[in-house]
Structure 1
């Protein structure tokens, strides 16, 4: 039986969104989060220019759109976001009201941490802010996709995290390729706040610090080989990659649905009180074992790919002592009413099966 909060969330979700008559620049257009931000912007009636890394990626975005909203979208190629002035031309092209910057490298390991991760993240962020400051005087608010990685401080976790915390990772730590991503999120976000403070910008800044992000795949995804990192654990369970044993959930046990993340970006963009604030966007806790249980309950077609029931029930690795989170700012200021784990996982798997049916119909008889 749904809780009163879940009933309210469903009721709110069915209401037509309040129109936002605005022109928005959205970076990283083919990305998982950006795709859902684009959907959310279009539902609010915004005109959107989407940056992509190539003409081919731009065509993929446009082909994925419903023809009813395609006229509201154009694409612009920004091949290298770390290059000086990379966003100058697109920002000169039209008077934008808002910028939503999601473009940033996301890998767990890099051959060259500075070249492959830190530079693109930090220079890409400060570069777009510099271009907005110089060439886009009409922009009122910039929203940047940061990460809970910029907040969490392992292994010395506090009892409860909120937006006041910053990761303890150092630049020296960042030279370890395994820690480069976490460092890139911290240092690029800090660079953004410093830029706004040091340059007396006419626009305000807000950041979205989302946790592990599940949810339906982006429309423009060409293949399940390119599935985003968070959703990959769901895909691996469904296709039998953990049939012989469920992999450890660590290091992160918190999640959020991408549709809540997208709405948080749009609300952070348009709600006046959101300016100058970070938002820790997290819904709740998960483990791979709990995801496995939801797959077993809802998807008979993947049942034979799952590990033994005894493994699922007997080895949930959620820590006995675990830090908590305070997401009240996102609820109070942005009005987010978070989806629960079950809804997020079910909708994610439905989208995975739909893409599989479209791209590999010969493998839809339980043979993954």
Structure 2
């Protein structure tokens, strides 16, 4: 029987479908037999999502346009038109370094986007059994006073006042949006349950639908800059976060959060191990010796991973979700390969434009 006519395992709305984590989550959902409707901010982004999917699986994927998740009722029309989603995976939340307006750039999309989505599901999608939200290790880690061991019981201390400081806007948005989601569940008692995936710095192959290396996810910037020789004056400090996870493990965590009944009502701290910028640079040099000339050396490449770095406990994600984490070496090697593939495409395009 051809894959396209197999019965679906269920239907999933995947928000922020063109993002880094979402692109891999889309693959993992399709691998597991789900049909997926991805939300995108424009038809152009939606078409890129479809074009990135293997043609043999493309008829199990479609998209809807949600231009601004922060607007009141942004998702109402989606569920009014199609109330038959079994699950919702919410990855749409901003993460970048160019903060101009903390409220507009981070707080509104994160908080209003999350609570607005939950309200829409409750009002218009009675079939939905579970919602999985991509939260962050930023809602767990307190860089002002590190815990000895971080796990799902930990909450970062950030408040709305902290969020007005551009240096804290992202972290505060993740704390406040996740707390708002759990508060909604407690107050509204909807028919669906909730899971949050608190993933840390996320490395791994960049998404297929990317059009420029300038658009890759922020965590992978440090790998890109090493590969392209953009690191000048030595490695930047790794602190305050020294833990990473591979994006494919994050994607699998989202799928397992749907498929494992016991996951409902839980946070999961999804973290694979430790990293430093020095360790990443060393892996880049080992897997691509031809790039060694671009990499910092000597005192400029000091490893700043502390001997007494805080510990983490990812046992809950291993026990409940069955995750087995990818090591730093493989994660960075695969990231480097994906970056070089896109760089080659960009180079061919520049060479082509030079002759037109």
| Shared fold, TM over 0.5 | yes
Q: Following superposition of structure 1 onto structure 2, how do residues 1-368 of structure 1 map, counting pairs within 5 Å?
A: 21-94=9-82, 95-308=84-297, 311-312=300-301, 315-361=302-348
Give the match for residue 12 of structure 1: none
Q: What's the CA shift for 1:109?
A: 4.5
Q: What's the CA shift for 1:266?
A: 0.6
Q: What's the CA shift for 1:258?
A: 0.2
Kept in 2: contact 1:30–1:57 (CA 8 A): yes
Kept in 2: contact 1:150–1:182 (CA 8 A): yes
TM-score normalised per structure 1: 0.91
Q: What's the CA shift for 1:363?
A: 8.3
1:285–1:293: structure 2 CA closer, same or farther, 3 Å change rule? same
Kept in 2: contact 1:243–1:305 (CA 8 A): no
Please give the alpha-carbon distance, in whole angstroms, between the structure 2 residues aligned to 1:267 and 1:48: 15
Kept in 2: contact 1:237–1:243 (CA 8 A): no
Please give the alpha-carbon distance, in whole angstroms, between the structure 2 residues aligned to 1:56 and 1:195: 33
Please give the alpha-carbon distance, in whole angstroms, between the structure 2 residues aligned to 1:39 and 1:292: 29
Q: What's the CA shift for 1:320?
A: 2.3
DSSP-derived class of the 2:13 partner: strand
Please give the alpha-carbon distance, in whole angstroms, between the structure 1 residues aligned to 2:65 and 2:267: 29
Please give the alpha-carbon distance, in whole angstroms, between the structure 2 residues aligned to 1:254 and 1:297: 21
Please give the alpha-carbon distance, in whole angstroms, between the structure 2 residues aligned to 1:250 and 1:111: 23
DSSP-derived class of the 1:146 partner: strand
Kept in 1: contact 2:8–2:35 (CA 8 A): no
Kept in 2: contact 1:108–1:179 (CA 8 A): no
1:309–1:271: structure 2 CA closer, same or farther, 3 Å change rule? same
Please give the alpha-carbon distance, in whole angstroms, between the structure 2 residues aligned to 1:289 and 1:362: 32
DSSP-derived class of the 1:122 partner: helix
CA RMSD of aligned residues (A): 1.5
Q: Deviations over 1:22-54 (max 9, x none)?
A: 000000011000000000001011100000000
Q: Deviations over 1:73-102 (max 9, x none)?
A: 000000010111111121223301000000
Give the match for residue 5 of structure 1: none
Please give the alpha-carbon distance, in whole angstroms, between the structure 1 residues aligned to 2:184 and 2:159: 20
Q: Deviations over 1:209-256 (max 9, x none)?
A: 000000000011010010111001001111112253111111211000
Please give the alpha-carbon distance, in whole angstroms, between the structure 2 residues aligned to 1:295 and 1:362: 25
Kept in 2: contact 1:100–1:144 (CA 8 A): yes
My pick for the range that moved more, 69-78 or 317-326, is: 317-326
Q: Deviations over 1:147-182 (max 9, x none)?
A: 000011122111101000111112211110111110
TM-score normalised per structure 2: 0.94
Kept in 2: contact 1:213–1:230 (CA 8 A): yes
My pick for the range that moved more, 103-112 or 229-238, is: 103-112
